[in-house]
Amino acid sequence: MMNIVLLEPEMPANTGNIGRTCVATGSRLHLIEPLGFKINEKSLKRAGLDYWDSLDVTVYDNYPDFLERNPEARKRIYMATTKGLNVYTEVSYEPDAYIMFGKESAGIPEEILVEHRDTAIRIPMIGDIRSLNLANSVAVVLYEALRQNGFSHMRTQGKLHRLEWF
């Protein structure tokens, strides 16, 4: 099971969309406070639709609390950042990897990034674009990690309801 970690997310709609992605992929969501919203906000649940109740989500007081309660994360955490030295497709994700994303306005603090230099990953972009939308970034990196692990436990073929494929 993959683990998505959001450090101090600010926008409820992004977090709701990420929650929905986590439910669709069987991933756990870790939210590290302070949050820029209340966990019961309508906009959060609206973005997550009716999937929010099925979400495996844990909220932590701060980053040290997250590490204390998830000691295995220290060995399997990837830091998604525009400051990363590795392209997100160039690393090998363990089946139970932790992928951390920073808050929308500032990303992951450099004090944390320097501790994870080898696992700081980046989504390539052109020019001086500051970053992609947080929910989009999570989807891009998470699906690469899932692809590398063979989409384990996921349905990989669809089915037509009224017609048959040729």
pTM equals 0.91
Q: So what CATH class is 3-148?
A: alpha beta
- Tally Cβ neighbours within 10 Å of residue 83: 13
- In this predicted model, what pLDDT tens digit does every residue of 59-83 receive, in sequence order? 999 999 999 999 999 999 999 999 9
pLDDT in the model for residue 73: 96
Indicate left, alpha or beta for 107 from its phi (over 0: left) and psi (-120 to 50: alpha).
left
Average pLDDT across the chain, whole number:
91
Binding-site residues for S-adenosyl-L-methionine sit at 102, 123, 131
Between 43 and 104, the higher pLDDT residue: 104
> Using CA of residue 34, residue 36, residue 59, residue 30, what is the dihedral sign?
negative
Binding-site residues sit at 102, 123, 131
pLDDT in the model for residue 45: 61
pLDDT in the model for residue 82: 94
Whether residue 157 is predicted with pLDDT greater than 80 in this model: the reply is: yes
Half-sphere exposure of 42 (CA within 13 A, CB side): 0
Query: Taking the domains of the chain in order of start, what are their residue ranges?
Result: 3-148
